[in-house]
């Protein structure tokens, strides 16, 4: 019981998983539990990799007691930018990815500077960036989706770029989709950074007690800027994933994703007050959201019930977190 008490996130994930097995419909011919099939399991990881990527960056920002509302719009902007570079301008893959990452860094760093140097509330600074990035996405795309053949002057006309296909093709029975791998590698890297670097320890210090951190010699501004910058990078990676998964750059992509990313962080068990939590917890949170959505989708519930169920689960997760904090 103590183990479960300490690892509530894992316990919740297991509970959701078991629930999935119980209520899942069975394959009509083979009688397999659909929820358990490898295809279904790899689908969850694949479908939620964008949310997961956003949530990774969000975790770092939330650890500093901040919030990044811009990630969904940045995803949309990078998805259009990436598609624009490759499809409309014929830029080759390497430079296109590089430009997108640099753009993500720039946006993240701007958020960080606004928060750390100009002392603007994270909520306000990133809200402004959320609006501006959505504008940038529409500016790049001219209001339509950037797909091959959408405009007569596009360089790539007859088929989607090869990289789009390659990034989403299933290898090893669907387990090794490059988009999924990108997500998993990013989350492991981020977890290592947070756990084993000085920057990682500073994140907790800044989020736990900013003044104390400052007095003990932590460069608070630099830590915050770096956290937002990484959030910009993961949003850029999610944008590239979105373009590949959809087959085009949609200026509307990622709308409200920031809320799901925040939800994944919170459900995982990180505290919105900062200073408590971790990247692997976010993976658990993402999986819980992913599984819950998948179960509701498999059994074919209607939207109304789904939303209600999701609301209840989010509240439950936060309640569990609260009781733990009071006890400690």
Partner 1 sequence: MKCAWLVVLIFAILSLLTGCAPKPATDTGPTPNVDTPQSSGLAPEAAQTFTIGMSQCNRGEPWRVQMDEDIKTAAAEHPELEVLFKDAQNKTEQQQAQVREFIAQGVDLIIISPKEALPLTKPVDEAMAANIPVIVLDRKIEGDNYTCFIGGDNVLIGREAGKYMVELLGGKGKVVELQGLATSTPAGERHKGFMEGIEGSEIEIIFSADCQWLEPNAQREMNSALSRFEQIDAVYAHNDPSAHGAYQAAKQEGKGREKTIKFIGIDALPHEGVKYVEEGILAATFQYPTGGREAIEVALKILAGEKVPKNITLGTRKFTPDNVKSGGEEIPAPEG
Q: Which is nearer to partner 1, 24 or 64 (CB)?
A: 24
Q: Give the Cα separation of 83 and 116 in Å (integer).
A: 32
Q: Smallest distance, Å, CB 238 to partner 1?
A: 12
Residue 180 CB, nearest distance to partner 1 (Å)?
11
**CB 322, min distance to partner 1, A:** 31
In the DSSP assignment, the letter for residue 85 is I
Give whichever of 25 and 106 is closer to partner 1, judged by the CB atom.
Answer: 25
CB-count exposure of residue 25 (10 Å: 0-12, 13-18, 19+): exposed
The residue (of 143 and 217) whose beta carbon lies closer to partner 1 is 143
Q: How many CA atoms lie within 13 A of 80 on its CB side?
A: 24
Nearer to partner 1, 67 or 130 (CB): 130
State the minimum distance, in angstroms, from the CB of residue 174 to partner 1.
Answer: 6
CB 286 to partner 1: min, Å: 14
In order of 79, 169, 290, 292, the CA distances from 165 in angstroms are: 15, 6, 23, 28
Q: Based on CB atoms, which residue is closest to partner 1, 21 or 169?
A: 169
Burial 132-160 (b: 16+ CB within 10 A, else e): bbbebbbebbeeebbbbebeeebebeeeb
Nearer to partner 1 among residue 34 and residue 226 (C-beta): 34
Closest contact distance (angstroms) between CB of 212 and partner 1 is 35
Q: State the residues that interact with partner 1 by CB under 8 A.
A: 25, 27-29, 34, 37, 39-40, 43, 46-47, 143-145, 147, 149-151, 168-170, 174, 177, 245-247, 250, 252-253, 293-294, 297-298, 300, 302-303
Nearest to 156 by CA among 213, 200, 90, 99: 90
**Token pair for residue 108?**
């993240």
């Amino acid at each position: 019981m103590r183990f479960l008490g300490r690892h509530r996130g894992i316990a919740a994930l297991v509970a959701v998983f078991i629930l999935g097995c119980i209520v899942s419909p069975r394959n009509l011919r083979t009688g397999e539990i659909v929820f358990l099939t490898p295809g279904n399991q790899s689908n969850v990881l694949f479908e939620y990799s964008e949310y997961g990527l956003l949530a990774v960056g969000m975790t770092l920002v939330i650890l500093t007691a901040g919030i990044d509302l811009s990630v969904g719009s940045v995803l949309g902007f990078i998805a259009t930018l990436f598609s624009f570079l490759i499809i409309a301008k014929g830029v080759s893959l390497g430079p296109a990815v590089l430009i997108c990452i640099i753009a993500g860094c720039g946006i993240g760093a701007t958020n960080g500077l606004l928060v750390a140097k100009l002392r603007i509330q994270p909520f306000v600074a990133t809200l402004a960036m959320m609006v501006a990035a959505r504008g940038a996405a529409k500016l790049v795309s001219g209001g339509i989706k950037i797909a091959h053949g959408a405009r007569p002057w596009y360089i790539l006309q007859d088929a989607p770029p090869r990289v789009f296909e390659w990034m989403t093709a299933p290898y090893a029975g669907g387990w090794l989709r490059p988009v999924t791998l990108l997500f998993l590698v990013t989350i492991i890297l981020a977890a290592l950074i947070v756990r084993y670097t000085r920057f990682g320890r500073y994140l907790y210090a800044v989020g736990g007690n900013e003044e104390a951190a400052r007095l003990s010699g932590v460069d608070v501004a630099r830590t915050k800027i770096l956290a937002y910058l990484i959030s910009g990078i993961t949003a850029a990676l999610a944008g590239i994933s979105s373009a590949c998964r959809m087959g085009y750059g949609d200026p509307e992509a990622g709308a409200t994703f920031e809320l799901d990313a925040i939800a994944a962080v919170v459900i995982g068990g990180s505290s919105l007050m900062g200073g408590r939590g971790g990247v692997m917890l976010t993976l658990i949170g993402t999986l819980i959201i992913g599984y819950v959505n998948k179960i509701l989708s498999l059994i074919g519930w209607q939207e109304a019930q789904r939303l209600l169920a999701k609301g209840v689960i989010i509240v439950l997760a936060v309640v569990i977190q609260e009781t733990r904090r009071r006890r400690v």
